[in-house]
């Protein structure tokens, strides 16, 4: 399975969610954000070799990366386009601070939908009272778009330091469980949704094998 986490704008939660889902689903992570410290910060979270960066001078073919989460930032360049086309699902985190944030969010979703029908938005790290507004704006633009919410929580800041994923936070004990009691079901709902694409990709792959074998025998 391949999943692309992408938004044109930075600071939305791409890396936070890409790392966490990759760990949950035991996928590798490829980032194009080689200057923002993703490798340094999250290197210890993954088994050796499971977190890599593509640099501007590297060639990149997403088909050479099975079972991978792409955490891509920046312009919608050839690599993002290739990753979007090759992915089973594309996730766009949106951190809403003002209506100005909706312009890059909408253009990201619109661009990705031209490349892949399976686009999902996560309203992330957003004040609770404006979430209905964000849902409304997205719903007007994209009536069929799956939209999930992951609350703003200061515990998320510690994930990188502690080498933990969002879901792992809940196992830490009573205080966390209490503080995160709203966020955990949100993350679980998002992962159930993404896992459906993962299982489908797995079924497609195993269904494809006998055909290749048959083709090879002729």
Which residues in this chain contact ligand ADP in the complex, by CB under 6 A?
Answer: 10-16, 124-125, 150, 152-153, 156-157
For residue 175, what are its two tokens? 């205080």
x-marked contacts with Mg ion along 29-48 as a string, rule CB under 5 A: ----x---------------
Q: Give min distance, CB of 73 to Mg ion, in A.
A: 5
Q: What is the Cα–Cα distance from 109 to 99, expressed in whole angstroms? A: 16
Q: Give min distance, CB of 7 to Mg ion, in A.
A: 9
Nearest in space to 125 (alpha carbons), one of 155, 104, 145: 155
The residue to which tokens 């290739």 are assigned: 82
Rank residues 3 and 201 by Cβ distance to Mg ion and give the closer one: 3
Q: What is the Cα–Cα distance from 61 to 38, expressed in whole angstroms? A: 20
Local structure of 26: helix, strand or coil? coil
Q: Give min distance, CB of 142 to Mg ion, in A.
A: 23
Beta bridge mates, 31:
53, 71
Q: Is 12 in the site for Mg ion (CB under 5 A)?
A: no
Task: Kindly report the number of other CB atoms within 10 A of residue 94's CB atom.
Answer: 25
Q: Give min distance, CB of 29 to Mg ion, in A.
A: 11
Q: Is 120 in the site for Mg ion (CB under 5 A)?
A: no
Rank residues 134 and 201 by Cβ distance to ligand ADP and give the closer one: 134
Kindly list the residues in this chain that would bind Mg ion in the complex (CB under 5 A). 14-15, 33
């Amino acid at each position: 399975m391949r999943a692309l986490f992408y938004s044109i704008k930075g600071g939305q939660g791409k890396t936070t969610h890409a790392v966490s889902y990759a760990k949950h689903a035991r996928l590798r992570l490829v980032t194009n954000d080689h200057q923002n410290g993703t490798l340094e910060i999250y290197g210890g979270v993954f088994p050796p070799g499971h977190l890599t960066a593509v640099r501007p001078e590297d060639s990149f073919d997403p088909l050479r990366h099975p079972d991978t989460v792409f955490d891509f930032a920046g312009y919608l360049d050839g690599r993002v386009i290739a990753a979007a086309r090759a992915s089973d699902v594309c996730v766009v985190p949106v951190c809403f601070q003002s209506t100005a944030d909706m312009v890059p969010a909408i253009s990201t979703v619109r661009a990705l939908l031209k490349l892949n029908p399976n686009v999902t938005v996560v309203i992330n790290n957003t004040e609770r009272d404006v979430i209905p507004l964000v849902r409304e704006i997205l719903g007007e633009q994209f009536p069929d778009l799956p939209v999930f919410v992951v609350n703003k929580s200061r515990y998320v800041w510690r994930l990188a330091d502690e080498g933990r994923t969002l879901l792992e936070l809940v196992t830490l004990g009573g205080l966390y469980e209490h503080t995160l009691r709203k966020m955990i079901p949100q993350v679980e709902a998002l992962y159930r949704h993404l896992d459906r694409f993962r299982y489908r990709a797995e079924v497609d792959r195993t269904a494809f094998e006998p055909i290749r074998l048959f083709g090879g025998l002729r």
